[in-house]
Amino acid sequence: MNAWGRCLARWSVAGLLCVGAAACAPLDAARGRFAAQVVTYPAPAEEIVAADYRVEVNGRPVDVYRAESQYFDKKYYFASFDFSGDVTVRVTSTQSLARVKILPERFGIQPTAEGPNALSFSARQPFRIAIKRDGRNSPLLLFGNPLETNLPQPGDTNVVYFGPGVHKPVKVRLTDNQTLYLAGGAVVKGCVEARGTNITVRGRGILDGNDYPHLKGPAGFMLNFAGCRNLVVRDVIVRGPWTWAVVPAGCDGVLIDNVKICGSRVLNDDGIDVVNSRDVTVRNCFIRTQDDCIAVKGLDGWGRKPCEKMVIESCEFWTDRANIFRVGYECEAAEMSGLVARDIDVLHYSMNYRPPEAFWCNTVFFLQPSGDMPMRDLRFENIRIHADEYQAVLVLAKPMVCGVGGRKYATAGRLSACMFKDIEVTGNAERFGGEMCVVGADEQRNVEDVTFENVRRFGCPVSEKSAAVTVGAHTRNIRFISK
């Protein structure tokens, strides 16, 4: 009997159905649904479990953690669990949920009210959502993860293991072939510094920076990966970074998957900064920051190594004061090229509006090559922006004279071959604005071959004649295509 036959026979004896040789799950025949598995992780005793919300999954409690923000009512919350099959999630709140909004819509979460302070919903696929009872005041971020597999164990060779509880290592250093594992229920206070090949950081635990003031942590970045090859970062939660959170610098072959960044505690807390690295994939990540969610940079010390072959997909982004995507500014790289961003939900953009002519403009998409660096072959596709009560700049493609390491460049850069396709803005149209500005610096440092295809603001297709669209000097072949 082959593997499939053995699996089917095994489940048949138990009156269950196997759906695959490699992954068998019991079926609730009465309901025609796959029976659920739920894994929860109790918070450490030293953590104050948040009382503003209570979360249950199939009747099992899920502990809720608190995160800090500089803005709105200064706090928000998050909770995380693992599951497979069909589950029912119940959320209760100390405040009314009568005006609750759940973002993004992509996960198809349809809540049912259970009184003024409670709701429930069903899920059968992993999700990352914000449950907002009062706009940006005290939302609950809820992460439903797939089940964890191939768990490392304490004492495994080349494994640095942190089990449930609070740990204060200050700095965790990793090198070739090592795995850092943060078990569910672990809160690890400090940072990670890694250099080498085949390094992995994983687990359902929390890497916590709350104890450190702005720019005064034990290392430059929370997760500082320098010159790594074949690097994997998956599943961990990063809370309260003191500066940039996840930084692969001078790296080749990077996967960042299902990482959740709960920032906005301090200034300069970029989410993921790709620095002089190539072959980088970021997927299934939720990022809330004060500063840029995704930045691509060239910094001193990496021999002008290009930033190239980058894929960012199936993510949710929220910035309070800066940019969703910022490509450029620091441009100590031979070039920045080959970026694909697709299937992204922008839950919130900057609350701090600045017009396109402002040097520190805040945007959804900011492309700003400097230092004579070429930037080319960037593609943004299938991206959904939720407009709220704040005004915003949608696109700014503008070579600029910026700086790096405290010094100013002498010239702007060059920008070419960019595509914005299937970009949809929905929500509150009252103040959004949504400026789209394309302008070059001079004839040598221009912008050319930029296409906007099926870009829609509140159902209206955008063309070169639309309000708040500017195609300025030193540009060539800027196209608008509507379906």
**Looking at the structure, do residues 257 and 333 belong to the same domain, yes or no?**
yes
Residue 404 has pLDDT above 60, yes or no: yes
Note the pTM of the prediction, 2 decimals.
0.93
Residue 221 sits in the same domain as residue 351: yes
- The answer to whether residues 163 and 132 belong to one domain is no
Predicted confidence at residue 254, as pLDDT, reads 98
Considering the domain architecture, whether residues 323 and 427 belong to the same structural domain is answered as yes
377-400 pLDDT per residue, tens: 999 999 999 999 999 999 999 999
Q: Are residues 43 and 31 in the same domain?
A: no
* In-domain check, residue 151: no
CATH assignment at residue 141: 2.60.350.10
Residues 130 and 186 in one domain: no
* Residues written for the chain: 483
Four-residue CA torsion sign, 309, 415, 420, 388: positive
CATH number at residue 192: 2.160.20.10
Q: Assign 483 a pLDDT band (cuts: 50, 70, 90).
A: confident
pLDDT at 50: 83
On whether residue 231 sits in a domain, the answer given is yes
Domain identity same for 91 and 31: no
- Whether 124 is covered by a domain: the verdict is yes
Residues 133 and 185 in one domain: no
Domain closes at, from 94, 122, 145: 145
Flag whether 152 is in a domain: no
The lowest-confidence range among 18-27, 102-111, 287-296 is 18-27
Task: Please say if the pLDDT value at position 242 is more than 80.
Answer: yes
Nearest to 427 by CA among 380, 397, 394: 394
Quick one: 391 and 348 in the same domain?
yes
Q: Could you tell me if 44 and 31 lie in one domain?
A: no
Tally of domains in the chain: 3
Whether 82 and 172 map to the same domain: the answer is no
Residue 154 lies in a domain: no
Amino acid letter for position 227: G
Q: Are residues 211 and 100 in the same domain?
A: no
Bridge-based pairing state of the strands 407-408 and 403-404: antiparallel
Identify the band that residue 49 occupies on the pLDDT scale cut at 50, 70 and 90.
Answer: confident
Residue 265 lies in a domain: yes
| Domain range enclosing 22 | 3-35
Beta strands in 64-175 (DSSP E): 65-68, 75-84, 87-93, 101-103, 112-113, 118-123, 127-132, 140-145, 159-162, 165-174
In a domain, 150, yes or no: no
In whole angstroms, what is the distance from residue 208 CA to residue 313 CA?
25
Judge whether 201 lies within some domain.
yes
pLDDT per residue as tens digits for the range 259-270: 999 999 999 999
